[in-house]
Amino acid sequence: MRLAEACSLLASDICLDTELPYIELIEHLWRSLKTRAGKRQVLLVEASLWAAQRTKETSTSEFTFLRYCSKEKAKADFASNALNKWMRPHVPQGCVVHSFRHSLRDRLRTVECPSDIID
């Protein structure tokens, strides 16, 4: 899931009352999807399920991360800056939050994981 998709979720996008909990990624007025395949369901397991449950329990708005989203705009750049600032003392110099997503894709390609699984 892209950072912009995560920080602009609605509480209603998090579906916990199913056998397999998931996040429903759909286009919203404040955030478009990057590709046609962007509309998808992202399964929640282990740490991601725990985080989604806590997020939904503590949300005081229709938005899960009100600080980073409004009905006018998703503010993924603000979220990225905050994460990078927090990570700086814990990761090698030059490593940013976006690096993790690309590193995982590269590693999956290296082990010849099918592209539909990588996506």
> Which is nearest to 64 in space by CA: 80, 72, 74?
74
In the structure, what pLDDT confidence band is assigned to residue 30 with cuts at 50, 70 and 90?
Answer: confident
56-66 CB burial, b ≥16 within 10 A, e <16: beebeeebbbe
Mean per-residue pLDDT, 44-51: 95
Q: Which pLDDT score, from 0 to 100, does residue 14 have?
A: 96
Q: Tell the burial category of 99 from Cβ atoms under 10 Å away from its Cβ (0-12, 13-18, 19+).
A: middle
For the chain, first and last CA: distance in Å?
9
d(CA 87, CA 92): 9
Note the pTM of the prediction, 2 decimals: 0.76
pLDDT (mean) for 66-93:
88
Q: Mapping DSSP to helix (H, G, I), strand (E, B) and coil, where does residue 63 land?
A: strand
Share of the chain above pLDDT 90, in %: 45
